Amino acid sequence: MGFPKALDHLVYAVPDLAEGVDAFEELTGVRPAPGGRHPVGSANALVALTVEGERAPHYLEVIGPDPERADPGPVRVFGLASLERPHLATFAVGVADLAAAVARARAAGHDPGDAEPWSRATPDGRELRWSLAKKESERYPEPVPFLIDWGGTPQPGLGDLPALELVSLRAEHPDPGAAGRALAALGVDLDLAQGPEPLLEAVLRGPKGEFTLR
């Protein structure tokens, strides 16, 4: 498998959500479905990720500032406050017991952040709730993932979404030793190499053929 088996979703950050969704459709031939709005000031659109043609609990999130938010100030998640162009920002891995996963990672030398409740208001008026452990990175892309626990909420990748095939995921980092230790503490097996800047790169396949997101 060319990506972590515990992968939950990829985070593709864009400066403008409407423009980002249009550009993503032009690139891939698949239009992300509206996901909803987050209290932190972001909003998203979603695409399921299949594996070798089979539906899997993975998806891709196109995320940007919520154009309908009451506070027009900067959105301080996933680097959106200073983002100038779309990029693959980071990814999430799924866990069944977030508190236990955070404790294991800290015992192994990596602090993924405190467990926090998150939510999203869907276009049809529902509120989805989950928990995650995420420390806002000083710079993105961030090849060390955050942790997510959906609890009783259905994982979106298995829902009624347009789909693309996920072929592989890889990363580069100027200090692959430190990044690799953080990945190991999280139990995440990711293809990681040394590079001048942090990089996250996914190869996907869709109606317009194979393409790379970075």
Answer whether 13's CB lies under 8 Å from 27's CB. Answer: no
The pLDDT, as a whole number, for residue 171 is 98
The pLDDT, as a whole number, for residue 96 is 95
83 within some domain: yes
Half-sphere exposure of 108 (CA within 13 A, CB side): 17
Residue 183 is part of which domain span?
Answer: 7-213
The pLDDT, as a whole number, for residue 70 is 79
92 within some domain: yes
Please give the mean pLDDT across all residues of the chain.
95
Confidence band of 194 (pLDDT split at 50, 70, 90): very high
d(CA 193, CA 176): 6
The pLDDT, as a whole number, for residue 152 is 94
Residue 127 pLDDT > 60: yes
Q: What is the mean pLDDT of residues 159-172?
A: 97
161 within some domain: yes
Proportion of the chain above pLDDT 70, given as a percent:
100
- CATH code (residue 149): 3.10.180.10
Confidence band of 13 (pLDDT split at 50, 70, 90): very high
Report pTM.
Answer: 0.96
d(CA 182, CA 65): 29
163 within some domain: yes
H or E, element range at 184: helix 176-186
- Count of structural domains, the chain: 1
- Give strand pairing partners of 61: 11, 46
Per-residue model confidence as pLDDT tens digits over 53-104? 888 999 999 999 999 887 778 898 999 999 999 999 999 999 999 999 999 9
Confidence band of 203 (pLDDT split at 50, 70, 90): very high
Residue 1 pLDDT > 70: no
2 within some domain: no
1 within some domain: no
140 within some domain: yes
Residue 211 pLDDT > 60: yes
The pLDDT, as a whole number, for residue 59 is 98
